[in-house]
Structure 1
Amino acid sequence: MTGNAKATWADVLVVGSGIAGCSAAFAAARAGANVLVATKATRPENAATHWAQGGIAVTRDKPESLRASFATKIEVEVEGPIDGERAAEVGADIVLLDNCSPAEVERGVELLPDEVLAEASGGIEIEDVPVYTETGVDVISMGSLTHSARSLDFSFRTGRGRFDS
C-alpha cells in the first residue's frame, strides 16, 4: 500500500459515495455488516454527492427489520445543520456535526428528532467545551485529547527475565 493507506477489514466494501453507494452502505450497515465506503474524492466537497440535489441522497426506506441488533447504530458525519436533518430523515441514529460553530451545532440540534444523538467534533479545544455544552449537543469529541497528548515511554522490564540481554 502507498501513501497514508492502511489495511482495513470490512464485511462489505462499497465503491463510490453516490446515491447508489450510500444506499447500499446504509442497507448493509442496518443488516449488521461492517461497511467500508471507498471514494475517489479526497475531500467531501470534491465528491459528486456533495453537489447532488438533496445533499445526502440515500434511500428514504427504513425497514426496521434490517436492523440486526439494538446495538447497530448508523452515524453520519455532516458539515451543517440542514445535512444533519436530512441524515436523520433517512435513518441516521447519530449525527456528527463536523467543524461547525456553536451556533451551527445549536441549530443542528434543534432540527434533529429527540431520538437521534447529536455529536459535535472538529477543531474543538478544551477551552471551547463550555460553549458547546450550551448548544444541547449530546456528545462533544475532541481529537486534541489524543493527537496533542505527550507520550510517555516506559517499560515493565526488571532486568531479571529470560528476554533481557
Structure 2
Amino acid sequence: MLGIFFNKTLKISLLFTTLIVASTISTAVNAQETPQIFGDMKIGHKFNPDPFTVRGMSGGSVSGKRIAGRRDTLTGPCQGFFDRKPDHTLELTDKFEYLKLQIQSPEDTTLVIKGPGGSWCNDDFEGKNPGIVGEWLPGTYQIWIGSYNKNKYLPYTLQITEVK
C-alpha cells in the first residue's frame, strides 16, 4: 500500500516540476482555464469547456494486459505499464453518439479504459498518442494512462471533446 502512495506522490511531484518548468519557458497559448491534475470528471451533453482537459503523469508497474484483463481489444492492443489505480474516473451523465478521448504527450503513451460494456485499449491513435472515439454509454469509466517502460513517468494532457 505504501508503494502505491509513493508512486502517486512521485508522479505528482514529477508533474508539478514539469508544469513549473514548462510554464516558465512557454507563454500562454490560449485563454482556457488551467486543466486540473489527476481529477475525476463528470460531464453531460454540451459540456463546457470543450475540449475538456486534465493533466497527469503516465506510467507505473502493472501491465496493460493485467489492467484490461485481455491482450487486445477492438480499439487496439493493451500495451504498456500503469498504476494499479486509475489515473482518472469519468462519469458520463448522458449517452454520447460521438465522444473523443485523446492523450497528448511528448513521448509514446498507452491507454486503458474500463466502463459500461467492457474494457478498451489503444496505442497510436494519432501519431504516438492514444485515443478512443465513438459512441459512449452513460456511466462511470476508469481511465489509465501508461508508458511503454516499467516505472517511466511522462507528463500528458487528456482531452475530451464531442466535436467531430
TM-score of the two chains, using structure 2 as the length reference: 0.31
Q: Which has the higher contact order (CA 8 A, sep 6+)?
A: 2
* Larger relative helix fraction: 1
* Larger relative strand fraction: 2
TM-score of the two chains, using structure 1 as the length reference: 0.31
